[in-house]
A and B are shown apart, each in its own frame.
Chain A
């Protein structure tokens, strides 16, 4: 087998050293009833060529060559070539978590840069080295708010990604953390702060909103923060579209920002791996979950970096840790770091500007469901048949919202990025108008 670097004669020599007659003796102390007495029912090993070919065929069954208007937490952005060039270096790809600082300065330095750039982008003062993804960052942020405030209830806007809300619910169910949901304004598509106000009490640890929210609408963070703070609660702001941070004012009034960096050169890859982050104020640093890199010096006085404040973490604090997270998404965070470096200050802004322009071009020929300001995705009114019609043109349309929001039947969430071609948007608009006219006419007849 090509991944096993020993010849049979070397195995023989090693067995001799161990005083064993055969490899089977290595396992002779296992209770026989615990042993597998037959070969695994798996295929024999395959060559590289066969494996590449098998996966290529699976790829061909997975919509290559289709144009797509899907967003909803996962966005198609161009991945600069430098990203894979850097993360393919064995020194990054095949290294372990940088506990041994003396031989891990490469990884540690990039994480320190990552933490810094996330702070610059979000307007926060400290960011961790990554979470699994945006969805799991939400309950981690909620638990953090509970620790900080000593309160236990959480309010989350219904305009937060539905799957993120489901994850929050799963995490909180056994921790004595009741969750209540906050309605959205049916005209604007933004969180209804009056509903939040009605549900606030001295038991509420945090209000969680998303901006741009799941409907693509940019929320008024300042007003939400003022409301939360007035009632002694924290404001947690989630983002799923990191490119929006190139243009939008960050949630500086939030206490915790949690988000998903998939937009930063991370392939959609059918849902993962992605990278989440949590950023916050310096004063809350000891309640932050996950790994953190800090600057220090080595014995010769040179600048050096190391993992720090690990007394927050499970390997030291065990059941009293801030989270059980251990393995995170380091290499994916490195992809995001390279992406941020390639685009930089001006590039990220121009990239965001292009997303804004493309999405507004697409929207100009369609019927928007909500009137609130949007960045690169928005909800349209359209019958479900639109997606079927678009597929005939090799276009994947939007995400129908009825499955999560009964009140939003016959609407879908559509997205345009810098990768979306004008010709496809023109086709989308033409098909959408053709489909909705008879549908509207039929609706009028009823």
Chain B
């Protein structure tokens, strides 16, 4: 039975270009307090454009209704649980939004004199110190804009260190359970990817690893806990095998929400890692970004970190560009500062005890879900779960229902789907990460929903195969979208769309 939702009316809304009409305005500029300049004279008439064809013209009321109506077509954390494995969709505290808009900070220009930027630099420095303590690493760069950007930075650091030792080496090892960004990153930094198979517990196979590591191995990109939600219990041995051959260990910090306050990568042999502040540290996902992907390193990689780096002299902060071994900039300015502000506010709110309790609750939530769902769904890897649990659809597949179908049916029950068909080592994966910010009531509703769907599959698989039934948009034809891409609105297509 569906307990969490009941349909309600949603408003239709055409595209901006379809509600636009000449002469409408949502803006007013102050009167110009200087003489108006003739653009044709100042720039030359060839350099001045004609009007921007079909650019919107709407009133303020239409504008706010437009975006408000569209917003109601979205699911969001503020509406309920978002059990996306590996994505750590947790509550986004609103105070973070408030402090990010603090006047001096929000309007700080990256080139304003350092003596007039001390507050912004202090925020950066305090966050750097907190993240080093949390990860057990020695130094950090907050410049990377997202996780994949942090990966690229981290692998470049490895390459630069190895280069300084005489040989950058050729290959990076990447477990078959890894995120797609890992191999894509390796390619951008000029490394060949060597996939390594997981063992029957979903862990890195030590014997296999021993065999593939050689003097052309630059390092390994490892996720811990891995993408089946299992802590790599041999992590220290893994790092020893790599280090013995002069290779380095990169940790994808996507799953750091399972470790904060409990275990530190710097203590179990990791050389370099990134954090996703938009996962572990609660900054909002915003429909796909912005994020921030700080890269933390042990001492031996510090000389290679991107410039500029913060420096404290004579009781003041300054930006230090003098790091001759640095890989260089990976982004203009100093990183996604507004995201850093939010992450620091989150760390301050939790404090040392709160951060640890958050990890405990995240792991408890995942284990609670696993315990309840194990009788209904196949659990291919039985090792203890950390912050997420991964089921397979193998039982349901016998009735012709796959993980993607179950995910769509979950929408009718009022939940965002879990992560579908990832990691690749689990056929038909249902990857569930509840995070710590779900209460018992929401978890129970979620568990009930999945059990109810499991029963539907036994009794009437069609209801699941055709889901979702209760959304304003039914199953979307993604195949046609890719076959005949329409990626911008054009005036001539207006007529065919008038039906909306």
Contacts and interface: CB of A to CB of B under 8 A. Distances in A.
Interface in A316-364: 316-321, 323-332, 334, 338, 340-351, 353-354, 356-358, 360-361
A100 B330 contact: no
Interface stretch (A88-96, A191-199, A430-438): A88-96
Contacts of B349: 1-3, 45-46, 48, 51
B143 to A, nearest CB: 9
Contacts of A30: 231, 233, 262-263
Contact of A92 (B52, B74, B101, B354): B74
Given A89-B68, A129-B288, A173-B328, 15 more contacts: A4-B436, A15-B364, A18-B368, A51-B95, A51-B348, A59-B103, A60-B104, A90-B78, A96-B287, A249-B48, A305-B476, A311-B482, A319-B183, A341-B66, A347-B26
B380 interface: no
Given A1-B354, A58-B120, A357 B74 contact: no
Instruction: Give the interface residue-count category, chain A.
Output: 35 or more
Nearest to B124: A270
B287 A334 contact: yes
B166 interface: no
21 contacts: A4-B361, A5-B437, A13-B440, A40-B260, A45-B348, A48-B349, A55-B345, A82-B63, A103-B411, A110-B67, A299-B474, A303-B497, A306-B481, A321-B180, A325-B149, A326-B181, A327-B148, A328-B290, A330-B286, A351-B27, A399-B111
A134 B145 CA distance: 12
B352 A109 contact: no
Nearest to A418: B29
A357 B32 contact: yes
Nearest to B163: A174
Nearest to B330: A170
Contacts of B136: 36
Nearest to A352: B39
Contact of A299 (B15, B183, B475): B475
B43 interface: yes
A232 interface: no
Q: Give the residue among A62, A112, A347, A425 with the most B Cβ atoms within 10 A.
A: A62
A13 B117 CA distance: 50
Q: Give the residue among A63, A68, A136 with the most B Cβ atoms within 10 A.
A: A63
A169 B156 CA distance: 13
A43 interface: yes
B259 to A, nearest CB: 9
B386 to A, nearest CB: 8
Nearest to B480: A296
B48 A42 contact: no
A340 B20 CA distance: 13
Nearest to B350: A45
A95 to B, nearest CB: 4
A314 B185 CA distance: 9
A112 B27 CA distance: 23
Contact of B106 (A74, A88, A267, A328): A267
Q: Give the residue among A92, A97, A174, A310 with the most B Cβ atoms within 10 A.
A: A174
A248 to B, nearest CB: 6
Contacts of B148: 314, 324-327
B333 A163 contact: yes
A385 interface: no
Nearest to B341: A55
B17 to A, nearest CB: 7
A70 interface: yes
A13 B443 CA distance: 13
Interface stretch (B83-91, B209-217, B451-459): B83-91
A342 B287 contact: no
B492 interface: no
A102 B468 contact: yes
| A-B pairs with lowest CB-CB distance, top 8 | A331-B286, A271-B333, A59-B104, A90-B78, A45-B351, A61-B119, A330-B288, A58-B119
Contacts of B478: 101, 296, 306, 308
Nearest to B470: A102
Nearest to A119: B488
A207 to B, nearest CB: 19
A218 to B, nearest CB: 6
A396 B116 contact: yes
Interface stretch (B188-196, B241-249, B294-302, B392-400): B188-196
Contacts of A85: 64
B116 A62 contact: yes
A120 interface: yes
Given A63-B116, A309-B485, A302 B109 contact: no
Contacts of A321: 180, 184, 187
A135 interface: yes
B147 interface: yes
Contacts of A304: 473, 476-477
A247 B44 CA distance: 12
A41 interface: yes
B190 A396 contact: no
B447 to A, nearest CB: 10
